[in-house]
């Protein structure tokens, strides 16, 4: 028994040594903001590659970009670059995009990719407010907050790996494979509140260097506070990951009082000109948002009425038709739903959700060839989505070729074996004799 305990202790010590070596053989790099050495497990080239890979996906999952508004996109890009040029990492391949979501949000991906939602930018009143938000997101990138979050996750995974090896004797190669999903999960990581506070400080520094008035940041945080009461469904998720608005308002006021930049004029003319189109369409998107709120209550006739109102106010917005098609499906109006979904996909010009939903509605109408085409387009726009691959497999299962159905069922099982889609795909493969 004593020898067994000693062997077990040796195994534990060896496992811990493996983990310690793994951690301290990681790369040390200087943080671009603080200048201090920082333990990281991601090179800058990898950081850039991740941003490039995820950026198109993030845009698609936020309903693409607002249609017919290149002026707004160019304007936001210009403001973003003005800030990036005075940041700690001016040479990154920065990109700034307005995405077509009503949620109140802005977010940054590794390597200089920044998005702000239509819902947030249309609530602002000046370029200085926009600069404060973009500066905050640039701060997350320059301080490598996503990389730090990734490193914390690697360290945790390493510790758990050591524990697993000690307790179960798991083979090293097999255990290492268990951590293979770390990189793929990077974009699900949130920032800590201390990181959010640092991003606020950096946003202030960048906006003042670029010629903006820091009082605008106070106004932005006051906006968030008011929206928490007036439109909680559009902002609550964002607020839950950030410091309390009252704290941010107080800190922003303190910074503004101590800065001579607080005497600068607020830039509104170009901002209002660039936002003119979106402001003129506000009633249409409000109608859509009201329809979305009613959809949560499953009041489908009223939902459809709101989406029709949105269409009447702005008939060139594809996602209004897509949403109407969903509401019509819920009411059993399959043929009208198909017409609406087709129009939504046609107007949306290569956006993921309208094609996914067209495939669903086409299948309900037994238009399997149309469903295959729609789900294929969705797969081209946003590859690897489990639900779309599953539905594409089912559509091929109806009309062939069988080999295509098997191909996509296998993709679903490989990507998500324990999900309902993965289990259903596995059952179908068994029935077809292809497991």
Q: Note the pLDDT of residue 238.
A: 56
Shared domain check, 296 and 257: no
Give residue-wise pLDDT tens across range 310-360. Answer: 999 999 999 999 999 999 999 999 999 999 999 999 999 789 999 999 999
Residues 160 and 192 in one domain: no
Same domain for 201 and 257, yes or no, is yes
303, 362: one domain: yes
Active site positions, annotated:
137
Cα dihedral across residues 284, 286, 288, 290: positive or negative: negative
Residue with tokens 């905050």: 136
Across the range 350-379, mean pLDDT stands at: 96
Our CA angle for 225, 255, 134, nearest 5°, is 60
CA 114, CA 80: separation in Å to the nearest integer?
9
pLDDT tens for residues 34-62?
Answer: 655 454 556 778 888 888 888 998 899 89
Domain end (from 124, 159, 187)? 187
Q: Residue 353: which CATH number?
A: 1.25.40.10
pTM of the model: 0.82
Confidence bin at 158 (pLDDT 50/70/90): very low
Segment 160-175 shows an average pLDDT of 35
Same domain, yes or no, for 167 and 306?
Answer: no
pLDDT at site 74: 98
Q: Which of 218, 243, 272 is the last residue of a domain?
A: 272
Domain of residue 124 covers 52-143+188-272
Number of separate domains in the chain? 4
């Amino acid at each position: 028994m004593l020898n067994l305990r000693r062997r077990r202790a040796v195994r534990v010590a060896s496992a811990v040594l493996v983990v310690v070596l793994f951690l301290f053989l990681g790369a040390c790099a200087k943080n671009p903001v603080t200048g201090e050495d920082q333990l990281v497990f991601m090179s800058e080239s990898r950081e850039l590659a991740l941003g490039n890979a995820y950026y198109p996906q993030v845009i698609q999952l936020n309903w693409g970009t607002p249609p017919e508004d290149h002026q707004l996109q160019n304007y936001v890009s210009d403001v973003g670059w003005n800030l990036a040029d005075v940041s700690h990492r001016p040479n990154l391949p920065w990109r700034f995009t307005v995405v077509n979501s009503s949620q109140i949000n802005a977010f940054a991906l590794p390597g200089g990719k920044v998005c702000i939602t239509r819902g947030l930018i249309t609530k602002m009143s000046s370029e200085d407010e926009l600069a404060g938000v973009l500066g905050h997101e640039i701060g997350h990138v320059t301080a490598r907050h996503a990389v730090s979050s990734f490193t914390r996750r690697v360290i945790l995974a390493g510790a758990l790996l050591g524990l697993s090896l000690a307790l179960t004797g798991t083979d090293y190669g097999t255990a290492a494979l268990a951590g293979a999903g770390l990189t793929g999960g990077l974009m699900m990581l949130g920032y800590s509140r201390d990181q959010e506070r640092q991003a606020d400080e950096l946003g202030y520094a960048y906006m003042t260097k670029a010629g903006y008035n820091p009082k605008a940041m106070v106004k932005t945080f006051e906006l968030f506070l008011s929206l928490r009461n007036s439109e909680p469904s559009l902002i609550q998720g964002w607020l839950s990951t950030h410091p309390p608005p009252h704290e941010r308002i107080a800190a922003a006021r303190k910074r503004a009082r101590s800065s001579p930049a607080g005497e600068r004029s607020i830039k509104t003319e170009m901002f209002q000109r660039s936002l003119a189109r979106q402001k003129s369409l506000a009633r249409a998107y409000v109608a859509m948002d009201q329809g979305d709120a009613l959809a949560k209550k499953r009041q489908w006739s009223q939902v459809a009425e709101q989406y029709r109102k949105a269409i009447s106010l702005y008939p060139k917005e594809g996602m209004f038709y897509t949403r109407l098609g969903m509401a019509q499906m819920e009411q059993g109006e399959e043929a009208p739903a198909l017409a609406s979904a087709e129009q939504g996909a046609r107007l949306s010009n290569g956006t993921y959700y309208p094609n996914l939903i067209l495939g669903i509605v086409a299948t309900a109408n037994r238009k399997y060839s149309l469903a295959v085409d729609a789900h294929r387009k969705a797969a081209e726009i946003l590859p690897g989505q489990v639900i779309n691959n599953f539905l594409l497999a089912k559509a091929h299962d109806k009309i062939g070729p069988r080999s295509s159905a098997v191909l996509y069922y296998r993709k679903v099982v490989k990507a998500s074996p324990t999900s309902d889609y993965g289990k259903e795909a596995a059952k179908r493969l068994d029935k077809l004799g292809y497991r």
